[in-house]
Amino acid sequence: ILNVEQSPQSLHVQEGDSTNFTCSFPSSNFYALHWYRWETAKSPEALFVMTLNGDEKKKGRISATLNTKEGYSYLYIKGSQPEDSATYLCSYNQGGKLIFGQGTELSVKP
């Protein structure tokens, strides 16, 4: 049974803190992993698509790494800002079928 797990479920940090969260996925038959940012009352917004073991992607203060052999990806936010408050979702693509994690809800206090 496919399962994508994200941890922690929620995270509360102060402005300026750096933070990271984990997405775990089945390591067999890996195709791609997607990270999304989902703000309340909005729709999910794509951050990264990752395909190769050892991939590292960066977008401003947000970066992500991928380990397909052990089945995990990390998302890092450097110097968190209140506008980073959102739910961060990862999605594992196994040959077309997309499985989403439950997300990590990040709250950044000023």
- Binding residues (CB under 8 A) for another protein: these are 31-32, 34, 42-46, 49, 51, 89, 91, 93, 95-103
Cβ proximity to another protein: between 46 and 81 the closer is 46
Bond before 82 cis per omega within 30 degrees: no
Count of positions (residues) in the chain: 110
Query: Which residue number, 96 or 110, has a Cβ lying nearer to another protein?
Result: 96
Question: Which CB sits closer to another protein, 44 or 80?
Answer: 44
| Least distance from another protein to the Cβ atom of residue 100, Å | 4
CB 72 within 8 A of CB 23: yes
Both tokens of 77, joined, read 């936010």
Pick from 49, 48, 44, 72: nearest CA to 60: 48
Residue for token pair 């936010």: 77
Q: Whole-number minimum distance, CB 81 to another protein, in Å?
A: 22
Please state the closest distance from residue 27 (CB atom) to another protein, in A: 17
